[in-house]
Amino acid sequence: MPFELPPLQYAFNALEPHIDATTMEIHHDRHHKAYVDNANAALAGTPWQDSSVEDVVTSLDQIPEDIRGAVRNNAGGHINHTLFWEIMGPDGGGAPDGALGDAIDATFGSLADLQAKVKEAGIKRFGSGWSWLVVSGGALEVMSTPNQDTPLSEGKTPILGVDVWEHAYYLNYQNKRPAYLDAWWSVVNWDAVATKYAAAV
């Protein structure tokens, strides 16, 4: 089965005013779709064409060298954006409770401390990439990746990620990536993040 573009589970304008509807529509329907189409094109006719995207991004060293770069960028883009849509939503923001909230406090000190680390990692990412909260060996970590690299390729499980490619924010925030990173917390669906945390530890 080729990869498929997952439908967005909320309206394009559901994240306004923090993320505008035009950005969401272009980002989902064009950017994410292009990653899906390009990953499928690269993998077609190879032994990997029916593999899951998780298997593909955790096996990049086994992907034929002539398509490895295209697969890394586009399968990575597919799995990264699939998580991104899932961990945002209307009625987002606030603070996580339960085991995730406890782990954030124990690891970083407070939610505000975690948010500062994610923002710093996003600002320091030169060019395009992502800032992540991941589970690694059962522990929470903040990290960033360039381009469409996924923490899964490094054996770490992303549970929250913010896209810092300019296509994610430029219409509304222009060059103000820090302002986008501050506003972004208002659309985070912590219940979805907590579900991913529970599955990863």
The footprint of Mn ion (CB under 5 A) covers 163, 165
Residue nearest Mn ion (C-beta atom): 163
Residues 201 and 34: their CA atoms lie apart, in Å, by 32
Q: Cβ 27 to Mn ion, closest distance in Å?
A: 6
Residue 83: name the closest of 146, 170, 9 by CA.
9
Q: Cβ 47 to Mn ion, closest distance in Å?
A: 29
- In the bound state with Mn ion, the residue whose beta carbon lies nearer, of 76 and 92, is 76
- In the bound state with Mn ion, the residue whose beta carbon lies nearer, of 108 and 145, is 145
Residues 194 and 192: their CA atoms lie apart, in Å, by 5
Q: Cβ 65 to Mn ion, closest distance in Å?
A: 26
Q: Which is it for the CA torsion 153, 159, 164, 167, positive or negative?
A: positive
- In the bound state with Mn ion, the residue whose beta carbon lies nearer, of 16 and 113, is 16
Q: Cβ 36 to Mn ion, closest distance in Å?
A: 12
